[in-house]
Amino acid sequence: MGSCRLTASVRTAVVAGALALSGIGSASADQLSFVGEVFEGEPGVKGSYVPAPDEVVAGETFSMLVWLSEPTLGLAGYSLNVDVAAEPGASGEVTANFDETNFFPDHNLILAGGSHFNDALTFIADPGDGGVFIQAFTIDFEPIDAVLGVNDILAQVVFDVSPDASGLFTFSFGNGTQLSHAPGIEVTFDTIDHTVTVVPEPTTVILLAAGMAWGGVTAARRRRRSERATANRGPASHRQAAGKPVGRLAG
């Protein structure tokens, strides 16, 4: 079954209703973190994961999976408020791509766990702050156990990196992030932030290096011309002796 996408204008009302489902609740401690791509594992294992990227290139698009590791209690739903923050000294932007972000159905907790989405409570919303808000519940609110490498992914978040971006950017889970065993029963969990370094595009580095090299050549040429001009002028007495006589000859 599908899921809907919401714009910032309607996100507040929907999220408010979603948060009402999460009460204070109960026991257990899961871990929510980011991982990278998926590759096929050993026979009988649906897949395994590589680490989230530590470095990305300006101007490109990349994705990270929201991973439920060390699951200890079945979940009937979850909400994810994925934030992106530039660290001091960083420039440009890294923003979630609202249209490309998805539930990663091949390994999704609910879809790959044998259930379907509750369409009324499943959506991907644009909060308008560069991040993304994601929520999903099972169709019947029955909890599903996550199996590592099979159905332990909650979402694939896609990010766009601006061409002028550089420096450190931190990805974290903000207010409203929750794991629910059932409506009104929230599961205790830990979150792990991830920091990515954005580096310039290779062509930009080449152009910068070429510009610096050309600047050095130009400066050297100007310096040599200045030295030659100074040498040609010489002292004032030498210039006079080498030129025409000054004044009238006696005679």
Task: Determine the pLDDT at residue 48.
Answer: 84
DSSP class of residue 107? T
> CA 10, CA 127: separation in Å to the nearest integer?
9
Return the structure tokens found at 20. Answer: 């009402």
What's at 223, amino acid-wise? R
Cα distances (angstroms) measured from residue 205 to each of 55, 200, 238? 16, 6, 51
Task: Determine the pLDDT at residue 47.
Answer: 74
Question: What's the CATH code, domain 4-199?
Answer: 2.60.40.680
Query: pLDDT truncated to tens, each residue of the chain (251 aa)?
Result: 455 676 544 443 344 344 333 333 344 568 999 999 887 666 656 678 899 999 999 999 999 999 998 888 899 999 999 999 999 999 999 999 999 999 999 999 999 999 999 999 999 999 999 999 999 999 999 999 999 889 999 999 999 999 999 999 999 999 999 999 998 899 999 999 999 999 998 854 444 544 555 555 555 567 766 666 666 665 554 444 444 444 443 44
Q: Using alpha carbons, select from 125, 196, 122, 202 the residue that is nearest to residue 163.
A: 202
Query: Where do the structural domains in the chain lie, given as residue ranges?
Result: 4-199, 201-230
Q: Judge whether 158 and 82 are in contact, CB under 8 Å.
A: no
- This prediction has a pTM of 0.74
**CA triple 196-201-205, angle to 5 deg:** 115
Task: Determine the pLDDT at residue 28.
Answer: 53
